[in-house]
Structure formats: structure tokens, C-alpha cells
Amino acid sequence: MGAAATKHKQAKASNETFVVKLLLLGTGESGKSSVFKQLHHLYGKPLDAKELKFYTEIVHSNTCEAMSLLCEGVKTFGYDDDCVAKEELEAFLKKEPTTTSLFAESPLHGKTVGQLVGILWKDPAIQKAWERRNEIHVMESHRSFLDEIDRINSASYSPSVKDILHARVRSTGVATERHEIDGIVFEL
């Protein structure tokens, strides 16, 4: 029997709460927050409407940021001549969709920002830039947002567990959460 299990039995016998504390360490973008989100999904309370709205905004922001980087990549790599959606590309390069909401109107022909993303994602120049995404710091996990732009751009969109796990939120500082698993309290 391990030391943690022995301490747990001793604490249970004396009516004390035994807490296993876990410290997640790692470099930026190494997956610490993803582990945290997975544990919350498995053992935490379901997300409320406010939290789902937060992740909707993050998914929209991640999608817009990925497309902006890809548009810049088209210019950087000299793929301009391969671009079919030049007007949409120029709108992103000028940062005309200043919002990170896919539902916002863009300045182009009354299209929403989400519609621009959908048009651009199908463009051959953007696809070529995607092949070199590591050079322009576009996260691989954001492909699912771009591939599923119609679902994400829907007014009835609510982030799935997969969307939440793929969403990139810059985390700073220390976050703490408690979960009980098989009668043992874990603090992360």
C-alpha cells in the first residue's frame, strides 16, 4: 500500500480530511491548463451559462487570431498570387474585422467575420500558409475551429468538450481547484 493511501486511511480514521496536492509545472503551451480542464470536465461541476459564454468568446477569438496569422503568412510567404479571396484577405490584413466575435459584421458586403473566415479557409493560399503554420505560430488545435467554422459561426453554437480543450487561454499566476476522486480530495 502506498504512502498516500496509508495517510488517507489514517486521516479517515481520525475524521480529518486528507488532501493530495498536485503541482502542475511546465513550459508555456505544454498542456498544464489542458490537464486542468480535463480534470474539471471529468470530476467537476458542469459548466454554467456564464462559463460556456466565456469559452464561446475564446473559441471565436482563437479562430479570428488563427485566420489573421494565416493571412499574414500568405503575404510573408509570397502566396498572394495563389489567393482567390483577395478582398477578404486584405480585410484581415488591415485588421478591419477588429472584433473577435464571428457574429460581428465585417466591412465587406455585409458579411460577418465568421463568413469571411469560412471563405478564406477554403482559399488555396491560406491552405498553403497552413502547411507552414509552425513558422507563423498558428496552433494545430485551431484547425478544428477552422474546419468547423459553420458550426462555430452558428447563432446556436455552444462549445463542445473538444472545443473547450482546444481553446487557448493564456493563463498566468496560480489556479487552484479541488476534486474528489474515489473518496480522496485532490487539490491542483
In this structure, the number of other CB atoms found within 10 A of the CB of residue 84 comes to: 13
Which residues are registered as beta bridge partners of 20?
Answer: 186
In the predicted model, is pLDDT for residue 157 greater than 90?
yes
Angle at 79 between CA 147 and CA 87, to 5 degrees: 70
Whether the predicted pLDDT of 179 surpasses 80? no
Residue 97 pLDDT = 57
| Cell numbers representing residue 155 in the block | 447563432
Given a cut of 80, whether residue 24 has pLDDT beyond it is: no
* pLDDT exceeds cutoff 90 at 12: no
Q: Within a 10 A sphere around the Cβ of 22, how many other Cβ atoms?
A: 11
Q: Is-above-0.75 flag for pTM?
A: yes
pLDDT on residue 6 = 63
pLDDT of residue 25: 73
Q: Is the pLDDT of residue 31 over 70?
A: no
Contacts of 153 (CB under 8 A, 6+ apart): 102, 103, 112, 114, 115, 117, 118
Q: Which one has a higher pLDDT value, 51 or 20?
A: 51
Banded model confidence at residue 142, pLDDT cuts 50, 70, 90: very high
Q: Which residue has the higher pLDDT, 171 or 90?
A: 90
| pLDDT at site 15 | 52
